Amino acid sequence: MNTFTRRHFLQSAGAACTLAGLPAWAADAFPTKPLTLVVPYPAGGASDASARIFAESFTQSLNQQVIVENYGGGTGLIGANKVLSAPADGYTFLHGSPNEVILPPMLNPAARYKPWDFVFAAPITTASIVLLVRNGIPVGTMDEFLDYARERKDKPLTYASVGIDSLYHLMGDALATRLNLPFLHVPYKGAAPALQDLAGGQVDFGILPYQTSFDGMQAQGRLKVISSFSKDMAPGLKHIAPITQSKQIPDFVHEIGGGYFMRKGTPADRVAALRKAIGEAVVKPEIRGRLEAEGRKVAQPTQTQAQADAAFKEMIDRIAALLKVLGRKNLAL
């Protein structure tokens, strides 16, 4: 065997050995099979509606079916764990927000993960959070609601959220602290069951992400949409009063951003493939229109992992600041 042939053989053999030591998916095209999009709440809520809009576009962009699976409970912890227990191969990803990725590890000792156990592919939308009241409460504005709550200070109003230590729960606590009012929190496994009980009169008010179904229920006299906690309203929410119109708490501004997360360790090219699919979705006029109608401000495409990482850090910092205001210990630090 001459020198050139021998060297070529050894190089080829070395390359084969190197490839053999890599995970099976490293040499494969991606994706080659259906993907699972995990929604950490029951079907019928705001997150589920948004995820299904994106799933349609992802199926086209990735040339593979994207299957939506719902895992309600634990304020999103169950859904988050579903993604973290799956292989870090990019085939299972989370339709997530601070409620599932950031808050549980910060506040819940049962959460066995940290925010940075996920990699953020890209942001998608910022959702408007609204305050709704049950039918029968004689108020039409935020200030009227606050006055009504003060008049009944001896009998605390009950409020619904998507779960213990969700952002909506913390907002209720922050509002109670700000106004020195004793609200009683009633947690649910998701927005859909919380909304059902609110419309049925089992709770007095709710702090939930906006859905177009709220307007229909208001028209039917089943509840009232009092205000959005947003400062700058999404195009589809011009009919709802922003919190800035309140004379008592005009600066009580809160929104919730969301996006898509994969398990840390997922190959960078697979995270990039999802980010590209997200970018293709958010620029489609029909998708932007549907999301804006649901009260969401739609993100512009994220080009790099560095941009995604910066957006994720901003989410974490904002939540940490809220916990500090509430005097809650941050377990993730």
Question: How far are the Cα atoms of 74, 116, 136, 147 from residue 333, in angstroms, in the given order?
Answer: 21, 12, 44, 38
Q: Is the dihedral of CA 55, 56, 62, 63 positive or negative?
A: positive
pLDDT value of position 305? 98
7's enclosing H/E stretch is helix 3-20
SS3 56: helix
Q: Which CATH number applies to 128-245? A: 3.40.190.10
pLDDT value of position 11? 43
Crossing angle (nearest 10°) for helices 167-179 and 142-151: 70
CA–CA gap between residue 139 and residue 204 (Å, rounded):
12
> Terminus-to-terminus CA distance in the chain, angstroms?
61
Nearest C-alpha neighbor of 260 from the set 242, 276, 240, 245? 276
Q: Running along the chain, 333 residues long, what does each successive block of 10 average in pLDDT?
A: 41 42 58 97 88 96 98 89 98 96 93 96 96 97 97 94 93 94 93 94 96 94 97 88 97 95 98 98 95 90 98 95 92 84
CA–CA gap between residue 321 and residue 254 (Å, rounded):
12
pLDDT value of position 28? 65
Does this chain's domain 35-127+255-326 share its CATH topology with 128-245? yes
265 backbone dihedrals φ, ψ, rounded to 5°: 100, -10
CA–CA gap between residue 99 and residue 13 (Å, rounded):
49
CA–CA gap between residue 170 and residue 323 (Å, rounded):
8
CB 315, CB 98: distance < 8 Å = yes
pLDDT value of position 293? 85
For residue 226, which amino acid is it?
I
CA–CA gap between residue 117 and residue 301 (Å, rounded):
23
Question: How far are the Cα atoms of 45, 101, 151, 207, 312 from residue 97, in angstroms, in the given order?
Answer: 14, 6, 35, 16, 10
CA–CA gap between residue 180 and residue 317 (Å, rounded):
26
Does domain 35-127+255-326 sit in CATH 3.40.190.150? yes
Give me the residue spans of the domains in the chain. 35-127+255-326, 128-245
Alpha helices, DSSP H, located in 180-300: 191-199, 213-219, 268-282, 285-293
